[in-house]
């Protein structure tokens, strides 16, 4: 469970983090209230000084005691403000770290189909923007909302002492102004949310475009993308202007209301002074408090209206990232990884979120230690099958068992700790090669990493790099060839040493030389493990114990490669087509890719 699990509104979300640090936020509130109280008391000290100065006997007038109180209060006020700044810095910054960490944790808990519908850049920008908006709201509340509230309460107390009618009038003025501003702010909420939504979308579009810079260059699309992004920026700017100008309207309304309040209160005070019911010090005090409330309430109104944009950002985050998880670990989930690798699909039915069905009462048994190949037409359910083994999603009916235990009984992280995956596109972080290989087992020693690299046939090329295992690979491994990335992925799987190995088109995008090296590494990796390999190229499955042909979520053929070739079925038909294609394929030119273009394949060959 993450803090987002019980947060259904921006306010509830923020309260989670206030409750996480009650003493920090409580002490912060106490410091701000103390400093604000001193500020009000300073105005009262000024009244005492003025009244003493207005005395008829100047020689005997006691102006030094009020002055001492005045100076002392200013000193205490400043100390309290500085302490609030120090504590606020530590509290708000630390809370921002917690928010980003928790949002990342909640985001990762979503099933894979969730990420296929979202822009990764947009998700990342929402996390960053939410932490920023939360920090802005905390800071605004502490230093822009609380002080005016303290000023107002202090002013009511002081005015009650001087003339209770003025206190009542002040309360009435502020209540009317606050009501107008709040109602006006609520009406503009949709504009602020629209701006937050548009900003997140544009951020995601920008990251998506930058991540596909190769395609932009290759297809001479620089100006097209510039025009498209410019249009998106324009839509965001339009939404921002609407939100901004709505705030300006709220400021105008607030200024007019407070202008009327200040003029009325000062007129009243001067008339009372003329009639002798107020002293000169009282008039100074009322003037000071009125203008303090004038400026403080302006800050308060602007803060309340301005935070509407920040609340809009959090609302948008809760709508997208804060969705409830479809996958949960059970309270009694077993913290053990699969050890043997027997896999069973019993009467499994699975439907995608868009209501398209993949499996209907599907049954399959994979004995421990068996090497199973899965082939068949695209869309037949191959990727879904291996995803269900990893519990990247849950079935709607039936059950998937590993080692005789339903996958739902395993804690998700422990379940996946017993499964090694080598996909078609290896995910590498912009970290050192050592860190990328060790990702399979964080506690592994350097020697264990080296041994895994040797088994994966990548130790040689790694040591030939300028910084060896400490070489930083580019984003998604862009500085390495396809074959090199694939072998690093295999080294990672070797190091993980899991009972179950999943190969998802692990050699599909490689040239012949890279495929040969990778196949050698895979043969070593597959020993004494349960292996499930998805492949379109049937020759890569020729040495497997068993092959199933999946079509429309149904096993249409099941047997050894030799058995399936002897039948007049889907496998033999595809085998003949692929074998004929290989026979007539023209020889590759040196340093050229399979598509006949000098480029990635050629570069990959040279790097190998």
- Note the pLDDT tens digit of each residue in 420-476: 888 878 878 888 899 989 987 888 899 999 988 888 888 888 898 888 899 888 666
Question: From the CA atom positions of the chain, what is the Rg in Å?
Answer: 35
pTM assigned to the model: 0.67
More confident residue, 574 or 269: 574
Quote the CA–CA distance of 445 and 452 in Å, as a whole number.
11
More confident residue, 487 or 599: 487
Q: CB of 163 within 8 A of CB of 49?
A: no
Q: Give me the chain's average pLDDT, please.
A: 80
Q: Which two tokens stand for residue 255?
A: 């200024």
Query: Residue 264, Cβ neighbours under 10 Å: how many?
Result: 13
Q: What is the DSSP letter of 441?
A: -
Q: Name the pLDDT band for 605 (thresholds 50, 70, 90).
A: very low
pLDDT digits (tens, 9 = 90+) for 212-233: 776 777 767 778 888 888 888 8
Q: Which two tokens stand for residue 87?
A: 């504590």
- Say whether pLDDT at 341 is over 70: yes
* Helix, strand, coil in percent for the chain, rounding step 5: 65, 10, 25
Query: Any idea how long the chain is?
Result: 608
pLDDT of residue 512: 66
Q: CB of 222 within 8 A of CB of 270?
A: no
Q: Chain-centre distance of CA 459, in angstroms?
A: 35
pLDDT digits (tens, 9 = 90+) for 576-600: 887 765 544 444 444 333 333 333 3
Quote the CA–CA distance of 86 and 35 in Å, as a whole number.
14
More confident residue, 158 or 515: 158
More confident residue, 424 or 301: 424
pLDDT of residue 229: 84
Q: CB of 122 within 8 A of CB of 207?
A: yes
Q: Which residues contact 442 (CB under 8 A, 6 or more apart)?
A: none
Quote the CA–CA distance of 480 and 474 in Å, as a whole number.
8
Query: Residue 434, Cβ neighbours under 10 Å: how many?
Result: 19
Query: Residue 224, Cβ neighbours under 10 Å: how many?
Result: 11
More confident residue, 87 or 440: 87
Handedness of CA 439, 444, 449, 452 (dihedral sign): negative
- Say whether pLDDT at 478 is over 70: no
Q: CB of 376 within 8 A of CB of 393?
A: no
Q: Name the pLDDT band for 604 (thresholds 50, 70, 90).
A: very low
Q: Please, what's the b/e burial string for 388-402 (b: 16 or more CB within 10 A of its CB; e: otherwise)?
A: bbbbbbebeebbbbb
pLDDT digits (tens, 9 = 90+) for 243-272: 778 777 777 777 787 777 777 777 877 777
pLDDT of residue 83: 93
Q: CB of 546 within 8 A of CB of 571?
A: no
Phi–psi pair at 296, nearest 5 degrees? -65, -40
Element at 574 (helix H, strand E): helix 570-584
pLDDT of residue 477: 63
More confident residue, 304 or 488: 488
- Say whether pLDDT at 285 is over 70: yes
Handedness of CA 425, 426, 427, 432 (dihedral sign): negative
Residue with tokens 């046939």: 457
- Say whether pLDDT at 132 is over 50: yes
pLDDT digits (tens, 9 = 90+) for 18-36: 998 999 999 999 999 998 8
Q: For the sheet containing 397-402, what is the strand order?
A: 357-366, 343-351, 397-402, 405-406
Quote the CA–CA distance of 340 and 273 in Å, as a whole number.
93
- Say whether pLDDT at 573 is over 90: no
The three-point CA angle 238-244-248 to 5° equals: 140
Q: Which of 99, 13, 109 is nearest to 324 (CA)?
A: 109
Q: Which two tokens stand for residue 211?
A: 């991540």
Q: Which two tokens stand for residue 114?
A: 């969730």
- Say whether pLDDT at 345 is over 80: yes
- Say whether pLDDT at 296 is over 80: no
pLDDT digits (tens, 9 = 90+) for 162-191: 777 777 877 777 777 777 777 776 677 677
pLDDT of residue 157: 82
pLDDT of residue 7: 64
Q: Which of 447, 523, 419, 437 is nearest to 488 (CA)?
A: 437
- CATH fold for domain 3-320: ABC transporter transmembrane region fold (1.20.1560)
Q: Which two tokens stand for residue 224?
A: 């097209």
Q: Which of 182, 229, 209, 190 is nearest to 316 (CA)?
A: 190
3-state secondary structure 297-356: HHHHHHHHHHHHHHHHHHHHHHHHCCCCCCCCCCCCCECCCCCCCCEEEEEEEEECCCCC
Q: Name the pLDDT band for 532 (thresholds 50, 70, 90).
A: very high
Quote the CA–CA distance of 496 and 456 in Å, as a whole number.
13
- Say whether pLDDT at 508 is over 70: no
Handedness of CA 47, 50, 54, 55 (dihedral sign): positive
Query: What is the rounded average pLDDT of the residues 186-210?
Result: 74
Q: Name the pLDDT band for 374 (thresholds 50, 70, 90).
A: very high
Q: CB of 558 within 8 A of CB of 362?
A: no
Q: Chain-centre distance of CA 426, in angstroms?
A: 22
Phi–psi pair at 235, nearest 5 degrees? -65, -40
Angle, helices 222-274 vs 280-320, to 10°: value is 150
Quote the CA–CA distance of 346 and 395 in Å, as a whole number.
11
pLDDT digits (tens, 9 = 90+) for 391-417: 888 888 999 999 989 998 898 888 888
Query: Residue 446, Cβ neighbours under 10 Å: how many?
Result: 10
Q: Which of 581, 569, 567 is nearest to 537 (CA)?
A: 581
Quote the CA–CA distance of 452 and 160 in Å, as a whole number.
80
pLDDT of residue 95: 92
pLDDT of residue 199: 78
Handedness of CA 96, 101, 104, 109 (dihedral sign): negative
Q: Which of 343, 350, 338 is nearest to 365 (CA)?
A: 343
Q: Which two tokens stand for residue 360?
A: 């209907």
Q: Give SS3 for 449.
A: helix
Q: CB of 196 within 8 A of CB of 189?
A: no
């Amino acid at each position: 469970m993450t803090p987002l699990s019980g947060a259904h509104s921006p306010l509830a979300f923020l309260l989670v983090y206030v409750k996480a640090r009650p003493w920090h936020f409580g002490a912060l509130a106490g410091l701000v209230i103390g400093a604000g109280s001193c500020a009000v008391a300073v105005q009262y000290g000024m009244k005492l000084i003025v009244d003493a100065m207005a005395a008829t006997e100047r020689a005997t007038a006691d102006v030094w005691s009020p002055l001492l109180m005045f100076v002392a209060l200013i000193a205490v006020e400043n100390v309290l403000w500085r302490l609030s700044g120090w504590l606020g810095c530590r509290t708000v910054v630390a809370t921002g770290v917690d928010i980003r960490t928790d949002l990342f944790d909640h985001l990762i808990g979503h099933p894979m189909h969730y990420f296929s519908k979202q822009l990764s850049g947009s998700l990342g920008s929402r996390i960053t923007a939410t932490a920023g908006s939360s920090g802005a709201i905390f800071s605004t509340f502490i230093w822009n909302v609380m002080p005016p509230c303290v000023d107002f309460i202090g002013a009511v107390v002081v005015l009650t002492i001087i003339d209770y009618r003025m206190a009542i009038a002040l309360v009435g003025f502020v209540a009317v102004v606050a009501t107008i501003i709040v109602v006006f702010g609520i009406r503009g909420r949709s504009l602020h949310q629209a701006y937050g939504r548009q900003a997140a979308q544009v951020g995601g579009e920008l990251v998506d475009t930058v991540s596909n810079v190769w395609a932009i260059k290759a297809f001479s699309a620089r100006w097209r993308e510039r025009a498209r992004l410019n249009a998106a920026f324009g839509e965001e700017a339009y939404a921002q202007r609407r939100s901004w100008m709505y705030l300006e309207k709220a400021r105008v309304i607030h200024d007019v209301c407070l202008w009327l309040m200040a003029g009325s209160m000062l007129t009243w005070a001067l008339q009372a002074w003329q009639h002798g019911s107020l002293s000169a010090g009282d008039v100074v005090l009322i003037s000071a408090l009125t203008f303090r409330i004038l400026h403080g309430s302006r800050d308060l109104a602007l803060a309340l209206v301005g935070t509407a944009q920040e609340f809009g950002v959090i609302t948008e985050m809760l709508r997208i990232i804060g969705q409830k998880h479809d996958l949960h670990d059970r309270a009694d989930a077993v913290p053990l990884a699969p050890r043997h690798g027997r896999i069973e699909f019993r009467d499994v039915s699975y439907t995608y979120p868009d209501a398209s069905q993949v499996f209907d009462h599907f049954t399959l048994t994979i004995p421990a230690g068996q090497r199973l190949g899965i082939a068949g037409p695209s869309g037949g359910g191959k990727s879904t099958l291996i995803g269900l083994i990893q519990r990247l999603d849950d079935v709607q009916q039936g059950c998937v068992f590993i080692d005789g235990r339903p996958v739902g009984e395993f804690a998700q992280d422990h379940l996946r700790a017993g499964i090694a995956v080598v996909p078609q596109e290896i995910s590498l972080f912009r970290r050192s090669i050592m860190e990328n290989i060790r990702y399979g087992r964080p506690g592994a020693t350097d020697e264990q990493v080296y041994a895994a690299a040797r088994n994966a046939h990548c130790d040689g090329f790694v040591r030939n790099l300028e910084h060896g295992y400490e070489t930083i690979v580019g984003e998604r491994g862009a500085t390495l060839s396809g074959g090199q990335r694939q072998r690093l992925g295999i080294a990672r799987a070797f190091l993980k040493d899991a009972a179950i190995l999943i190969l998802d088109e692990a050699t599909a995008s490689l040239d012949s030389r890279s495929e040969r090296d990778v196949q050698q590494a895979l043969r070593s990796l597959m020993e004494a493990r349960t292996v499930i390999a998805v492949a379109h190229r049937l020759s890569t499955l020729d040495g497997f114990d068993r092959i199933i042909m999946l079509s429309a979520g149904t096993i249409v053929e099941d047997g050894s490669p030799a058995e399936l070739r002897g039948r007049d079925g889907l496998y033999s038909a595809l085998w003949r087509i692929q074998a004929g294609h290989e026979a007539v394929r023209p020889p590759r030119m040196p340093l050229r890719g399979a598509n006949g273009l000098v480029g990635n394949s050629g570069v990959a060959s040279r790097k190998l």
